[in-house]
Amino acid sequence: MLHWQPPSNLLCRSIDVARSYVFAHPDDELDELSQGRFDALVRRRADGEPMAYITGTREFWSHELLVTPATLVPRPETELLVDLALREIPRKAEWRILDLGTGSGAIAIAIAGERPLCNVTATDISAQALAVAKENVRQAGLGNVDCVEGNWGAAVAGRQFDMIVTNPPYVRADDEALQALRFEPVSALASGADGLDDIRTLALDCPALLPESGWLLIEHGAEQPEAVASILGAAGWTDIRCHNDLAGLPRVTVARRGGK
Ligand code: GLN
């Protein structure tokens, strides 16, 4: 019997078998080639590279998504944003939904899958990230997601939506946490001295894309709800409310466009 449990997820990848095979054959030995592959994967993981980049996939809202270093690894707390969006989108509604800065397409795909009558537009400034999102939309078999390249509101200037959802970069540029996140694109994480530069841009860009009372849902850091509320309030947004994630941390703010 093995006393040390090898990381079965990396092991099954190095011998190209299902994970269950590893547990069913505890006495098998690795040949030299597989051992070399396994050691290389373990080294990457030990160096801090996220499993999602090593395996190339991450599950989000029951979709198996392709992820590459061009995209942020989808986080479980972002499912709160999806959950809150679905609470407001009636099942039979044919809403136009905009996901700004979609990355791997996680939020857009989750919402589009749950609301097939809605049309979801997913944007990203990174062509490489958008290529990943497009492939994820294709693999999910969704016909109701369009991907558009461009920076925040400029990507869809002149268009109208019923709801905007976004998980923008919101980490402070000098935050030590960025070191632990060094494998992920810094452009998807950091946003100026207080982490709020992109949220300030969104607060000003988004009203033109919505009717009065149109919805905006923004993910942000647990220490940012008051700052986000004051940015949104100053830009004329109303009904501003922050919601806690499963860890009890205030992570998503919902607001509606005020009258002009
Ligand atoms: N939630 C991420 C973190 O781990 C940040 C994601 C973002 O900036 N959008 O800090």
pLDDT of 4 strictly over 60: no
> What atom of ligand 1 comes closest to residue 190's alpha carbon?
8
The DSSP-derived string for 121-151 is EEEES-HHHHHHHHHHHHHHT-SSEEEEESS
What are the tens digits of pLDDT across the range 196-235?
999 999 999 999 999 999 999 999 999 999 999 999 999 9
Determine the Cα–Cα distance for residues 105 and 74; give it in Å rounded to an integer: 9
Domain borders along the chain are 8-47, 60-256
For residues 171-196, average pLDDT: 94
What is the distance between the alpha carbons of residues 215 and 45, in angstroms, rounded to a whole number? 40
Atom of ligand 1 nearest to the CA of 167: 9
Q: In a mutational test of the pocket of ligand 1, which residue from 73, 77, 125, 171 has the highest number of ligand atoms less than 8 Å from its CB?
A: 171
8 Å CB contact between 246 and 80: yes
Across 34-42, average pLDDT: 93
**What residues are in contact with ligand 1 under a 6 Å CB criterion?**
75, 167, 169-171, 177, 189
Residue-averaged pLDDT of the chain: 94
> Residue 43 has what pLDDT?
93
17 alpha carbon to ligand 1 midpoint, in Å? 33
User: Between 69 and 8, whose confidence is greater?
Assistant: 69
Instruction: Pick the residue whose CA is nearest to atom 10 on ligand 1.
Output: 171
Closest residue CA from atom 9 of ligand 1: 169
Q: What residues have CB less than 8 Å from 116, skipping those under 6 apart? A: 144
137-175 pLDDT, tens digit per residue, is 999 999 999 999 999 999 999 999 999 999 999 999 999
State which of 165, 219, 253 you would mutate to test the pocket of ligand 1, scoring each by most atoms of that ligand within 8 A of its C-beta. 219
- For the domain made up of 60-256, give the CATH fold: Rossmann fold (3.40.50)
Q: How far apart are the first and last CA of the chain?
A: 71
